[in-house]
Amino acid sequence: MEQQEEKIRKVYTRRRTKLKSTWSLPVDLTTEILLRLPEESVARFRCVSKLWSSITTDPYFINLFETRSPRPSLILCYIKDDNLCVSPTFSHSSSGIEQVLLFSSAY
């Protein structure tokens, strides 16, 4: 990990010396910001600069991104015996059926 950070810092330093008049963020702050963005945005931002491309394609960043990003929840809705059933997960087992929330159609 330290070698990858050093590599990113070298790219960052090289880029900074070429464009002295431009303002830039520290690598760790840029990484933290990118980790909080949606996946589609991170994919688009790879084209912003070589630095951002190297950050977003780094295996360490990808691993962090996958662990920190919330996964979309799937909800199963169906009607059973005139009741609307909602289940956050689908299970064929009887224990999964017991966890299903039932909403009466009378309301």
Q: What percent of the chain has pLDDT over 70?
A: 56
pLDDT at residue 94, as a whole number: 44
Range 64-81 average pLDDT: 72
The answer, as to whether pTM is greater than 0.85, is no
pLDDT tops 60 at residue 41: yes
Q: Count the neighbouring beta carbons within 10 Å of the beta carbon of residue 90.
A: 11
- What residues have CB less than 8 Å from 16, skipping those under 6 apart? 22, 24
d(CA 87, CA 95): 12
Q: Do residues 78 and 85 lie in contact, with contact meaning Cβ atoms separated by under 8 Å?
A: yes
pLDDT tops 80 at residue 107: no
d(CA 67, CA 86): 27
pLDDT tops 50 at residue 76: yes
pLDDT tops 60 at residue 90: no
pLDDT tops 60 at residue 68: yes
pLDDT at residue 13, as a whole number: 66
Q: Look at residue 104 and give its three-state secondary structure.
A: strand
| Closest CA relative to residue 1, chosen from 36, 39, 27 | 27
